[in-house]
Amino acid sequence: MRILIAGASGYIGAALSAALSARSHDVTGTSRSREGFTKLDVTDLAACVSLMESGGFDAVVNLAAVGVTAGTASAREMAVVNSRGASTLAQAAAAVHDAPWFMHVASSTEAKGNGVPESQYSATKSEGTAGALKVLEAAGVPHSHVVIHNTYGATQPSGRFLADAVATLRSGSPLFIRFPGRVRDFCYLDDVVTGLVGIVERGGSTSTSHEVGTGVGTTLIDAARMICRELGVPVSMVGHDEHDSVDLHAVQVADPDRPDFVRCPSSLETGIAQALKAGWGTK
């Protein structure tokens, strides 16, 4: 297959590009600014259409996003890339002759219904998802809407809970958790990529939705204590807020009973051990 991946320089995008290439697919990866990738502004409709028409792609995967880590992008940048960019890529796919199958990758943090967004990132991702799906459905473009839960691994960038917990505890410093009882579904990167590869290769002429996760929730404090045990440091290094802070985003766990559920088989304990063995937190 000829596959276009927008956001191929990102954490998941880079791993997915490598996995698809290893399976002999012809992958073109784009980035706004990173060298070694096809440069593409995902908000430039003409440029997106031109690339898709010239590439003759069988599939387009949208993993372009900014601001997943707090402080790495401004509100304007997130609105431009996460919201407008998603809609523009969908419009481009709908505009080309013989439209490619389209995968839009969404975040588990996106607000459901009238829920309060967890962050500006979540809010703009929600807008982008809604806009892209509206375009694809109206144009009749076969597509898949894929929600991915918290992905971690040895190459996870700093600024995410598990990566920062590993770095902090490795350094011998105490770790403080504001919402110790917050429950999340943590997915090992290799499992997520395997799931995405399967969805891409199945493609198809119909539209589907998928949720990628383990289906198992873990509190942040339990996850931190797992890291302590794997590193061989005292669990007493993990502290937490003693006050009853109201958590508006207490639980986010994939539903394993959904017919479109894509299971990540590695337990959090196993995944942490594998990532630490691969040098997580040492680079």
Q: What is the CA radius of gyration of the chain?
A: 19
Write down the pLDDT at residue 5.
Answer: 98
DSSP label of 81 = I
CA distances from 217 to 109, 181, 222 (A): 14, 11, 10
Q: Is residue 64 part of a domain?
A: yes
Would 269 be classed as within a structural domain?
no
Position 96, amino acid: V
226 in any annotated domain: no
| Residue count of the chain | 283
pLDDT of residue 225: 97
CATH number for the domain that contains residue 126: 3.40.50.720
Asked if residue 278 belongs to a domain, the reply is no
Q: How many domains is the chain built from? A: 1
Q: Is 36 inside a domain boundary? A: yes
> Which residue range is the domain that position 70 belongs to?
2-148
* Residue indicated by tokens 């996106």: 110
Closest CA to 211 of 192, 188, 184: 192
For residue 27, being part of any structural domain is answered with yes
Handedness of CA 161, 162, 167, 169 (dihedral sign): positive
Q: Is 21 inside a domain boundary?
A: yes
For residue 38, is it within any domain?
yes
Widest CA span in the chain: 61
Backbone φ and ψ for 38, nearest 5 degrees, come out as -70, 125
Q: Are 196 and 16 in contact (CB under 8 A)?
A: yes
Phi-psi label, residue 130: left if phi above 0, alpha if psi -120 to 50, beta otherwise: alpha
Cα 124 from Cα 145, distance rounded (Å): 16
Range 271-275 contact pairs with CB under 8 angstroms and sequence separation of 24 or more: 271/152, 271/153, 271/186, 271/187, 271/188, 271/191, 272/162, 272/223, 272/226, 272/227, 272/230, 273/230, 274/154, 274/188, 275/152, 275/153, 275/154, 275/156, 275/166, 275/188
DSSP letter, residue 160: S
Q: How far apart are CA 181 and CA 177, in angstroms?
A: 9
Q: What is the pLDDT along the chain (283 residues), one digit of tens a residue?
A: 999 999 999 999 999 999 999 999 999 999 988 888 999 999 999 999 999 999 999 999 999 999 998 888 999 999 999 999 999 999 999 999 999 999 999 999 997 766 788 899 999 999 999 999 999 999 999 999 999 999 999 999 999 999 999 999 999 999 999 999 999 999 999 999 999 999 999 998 889 999 999 999 999 999 999 999 999 999 999 998 776 678 889 999 999 999 999 999 999 999 999 999 999 988 7
